[in-house]
Chain A
């Protein structure tokens, strides 16, 4: 019993001394225990479909007063994102060709930040390549940010359009010689590298023809011999107005039927041009203007309601100014330039026959 008490007392004494000694040591700045070394960030995995790698986390700082600061974890290296997907336009690009482009992989990120993956491709209608590569962001040690997935929009690939893939339909607005409008569009296309130097679009427009003729005889001409146009530039309904009536009650339904035929035949996109204000000066032919004003809304609804082919409504009125027509119906050189440039701008915007 006495022996046991002695043992306890002795132990307490040693403990107190040890404790005091320890406290004294802390006060003099002896290094504490270093923080645990941060673990290396995990390697950022390649972002799937253009997403960046995950963040590599740095080690947590060492704790302990006076202790050496723990070093950051091993830097994770993010691998580049995988190839980006084709853009949505690829679906309309025709089989095979329209799968969108490959976004190039992002630059591997150093540090814990994952690399940003390749941008998603915005495949063009003709199978454009994908978007531009996402640039990898360098992660900062221990606190890298996640690389975001690429989101680059793709470029519209140029130079693959055959002139015969583009057909112009309608009446004298496009048919009358010289064909200022067609010539201007072709000039614009050649400058952009979208049409060969000696290549031309197919023009099946016939002067004086109504919507019914355009939808039947001209469409037959457009597809004659097994031709399979991909893009259509057209107007229609003006002659229906010129030959009587205050509006064309059948034009919209005829147009809808035509669009259906086009979709079945594989036409991808249509540009319907709304007539300029008739007369010289523009708008002075009030009877024709009234008929067009009554007829065109139905044509617009029909056009904009079509998805296969996609139909783009292009209103020519804003660009048609004094001097653009002499006879009140057909373009002069300046009229052809104004109309042609407007149509071409729409074509560029929509990657139409680029």
Chain B
């Protein structure tokens, strides 16, 4: 009798629990579209790699002289934005700052990354695809160009 009542109670409650669970579970976010390895092309810094996951970024000098690790606080594939905070660094690493906001353009396998200090606003992408001024070819500060690695 007691067992029967318990089963009945559980039977009544379970659907409700299921309903609650279904209504509060958010779908997993789409993976960051920049995930993967990137090779730096220019214009100003030395050769380095950029490795991106859903939760972190790492800039690594190809000669092993410096590196920096960052945590991704947020990203938005639709708006092409992200925010990162500094975790650790060695050598004369880049980029510098405790937190950065980034805007990017992904054109085929070519990535243009523009960052700015702080989390308050996203920088405009001044020269997508080149990171150099159209007028005189001078490099745009804090703009970096990468090509997707295989």
On A, residues with C-beta under 8 Å from B are 171-172, 175-178, 204, 206-209, 213, 217, 221, 239, 242-244, 285, 287, 326-330, 332
Contacts and interface: CB of A to CB of B under 8 A. Distances in A.
Contacts, number: 72
A326 B137 contact: no
Contact of A243 (B63, B109, B134): B109
B47 to A, nearest CB: 5
A177 to B, nearest CB: 6
How many of chain B's residues touch chain A, expressed as a range? Answer: 20 to 34
Contacts of B107: 243
B150 interface: yes
A221 B137 CA distance: 8
B145 interface: yes
B26 interface: no
A285 B148 CA distance: 12
B45 A327 contact: no
Nearest to B39: A327
Contact of A177 (B39, B43, B145, B150): B43
A285 B150 contact: yes
Given A175-B42, A243-B109, A327-B47, 5 more contacts: A172-B145, A176-B43, A178-B46, A207-B41, A207-B42
A244 B110 CA distance: 10
Given A209-B130, A327-B62, A242 B46 contact: no
Contacts of B48: 327
A329 B63 CA distance: 13
* Most chain B CB neighbours (cut-off 10 Å) among A172, A208, A209, A239: A208
Contacts of B145: 172, 207-208
Most buried by B among A213, A327, A329: A327
A326 B145 CA distance: 17
B147 interface: yes
A177 B131 CA distance: 14
B41 A176 contact: yes
B43 A329 contact: no
A172 B150 contact: no
B43 A242 contact: no
A247 to B, nearest CB: 16
A217 B132 CA distance: 12
Interface of B: 39-49, 62-63, 107-110, 129-132, 134, 137, 145, 147, 150
A207 B47 contact: no
Contacts of A217: 134
A283 to B, nearest CB: 13
A204 B41 CA distance: 15
Contact of B47 (A176, A206, A244): A176
B46 A206 contact: no
A211 to B, nearest CB: 14
Contact of A244 (B40, B44, B108, B134): B108
B143 to A, nearest CB: 10
Contact of B110 (A206, A243, A327): A243
B131 A242 contact: no
A223 to B, nearest CB: 13
A175 to B, nearest CB: 5
B51 to A, nearest CB: 13
B46 to A, nearest CB: 6
Contacts of A330: 47
B109 A242 contact: yes
B39 A176 contact: no
A329 B130 contact: no
B41 A171 contact: yes
Contacts of B46: 176-178
Contact of B44 (A177, A208, A242): A177
Q: Closest 6 CB pairs between A and B?
A: A207-B42, A326-B62, A207-B41, A172-B41, A208-B145, A243-B108
